[in-house]
Structure 1
Amino acid sequence: MDMQPPPAIVQLAQTEQPPEAPVEPVPIKVDVSKYIPESATAVTMIVTLSPPTGQALIYAAGHEKDATLFKAPRSIEEVKLDGPVIYVKLYGATSFDIQYTNYRQPY
């Protein structure tokens, strides 16, 4: 009787690579002082995005947690203000257009 070693059991473990985190878009600075008084506390705007599947977050400096979401192709929302500058982050959109329709000022 021939003695043979038992068959070797070899397991190849695939190393799981963590999914790549999505790249956070660079905020685009927009000066609204030509259209809205500096004392305004909020502005209602119509945002048109291209392509129509994109989205945009718009917020005032320091108020990222209060960002307003605009969904393409065109939506109207109110954005809180804190000075003459807002920031736009585009998600899946490559361009945007803003129309300012109304604003609120303190009493």
Structure 2
Amino acid sequence: MDMQPPPAFVQLVQAEVPDAPVDPAPVEVNVFKYIPESATAVTMIVTLTPPTGQAVIYAAGHENDGTVFKGPRSIDEVKLSGPTIYVKLYGATSFDIQYINYRQRE
């Protein structure tokens, strides 16, 4: 009788990698339509739909220290560095901004 090694059973399993969260495309908003060009910061009320969503709002140059607004309505201040702010929506489909107050250069 010939001796042969037993057959090898190999099973390849592809590791499941969870989907990385997708960074949403920012929406540009021109704030100088509503406040003076000399403003350095603006206080705003942000309303989000659906109310479980969140938004990060920042100006150019402040991408890493944006202001987080949690729905349905929240109020906070956003630093400005020009006429445009950017809004990234997380779990929200739409937003509304109400400008309350602003700070100016002296």
Q: Give the structure-2-normalised TM-score.
A: 0.89
Q: Which residue of 2 aligns with 1:27?
A: 26
- Alignment correspondent of 1:16: 15
* One-letter code aligned to 1:72: G
Aligned partner of 2:102 in structure 1 is 103
Whether the 8 Å contact between 1:57 and 1:69 is mirrored in structure 2 is yes
**What secondary structure, in the 3-state scheme, does the structure 1 residue paired with 2:64 have?**
helix
- Map residues 82-93 of structure 1 onto 2, 5 A cutoff: 82-93=81-92
**Rounded Cα–Cα distance in structure 2 between residues aligned with 1:51 and 1:4:** 70
> In 2, distance between residues paired with 1:105 and 1:53?
33
SS of 1:41's equivalent?
strand
Amino acid at match of 1:66: D
Specify the code of the residue in structure 2 equivalent to 1:42: A
Q: Which runs of 5+ in 2 are unaligned?
A: none
* Percent of aligned pairs sharing the same letter: 68
RMSD between aligned alpha carbons? 1.7
Q: Which secondary structure does the structure 1 equivalent of 2:38 belong to? A: coil
Aligned to 1:57: 56
Deviations 1:35-70 (A, max 9, x none): 111111100000000001100000001210120000
CA distance in 1, matches of 2:45, 2:4: 76
Give the aligned length.
106
- Aligned twin of 1:42: 41
Q: Are the counterparts in 2 of residues 57 and 68 from structure 1 also a CA contact under 8 Å?
A: yes
Asked if the contact 1:66/1:80 (under 8 Å) is kept, the reply is no
- In the aligned structure 2, how far is the partner of 1:21 from the partner of 1:75? 28
Find runs of 4+ consecutive structure 1 residues off by over 3 angstroms.
Answer: 2-9
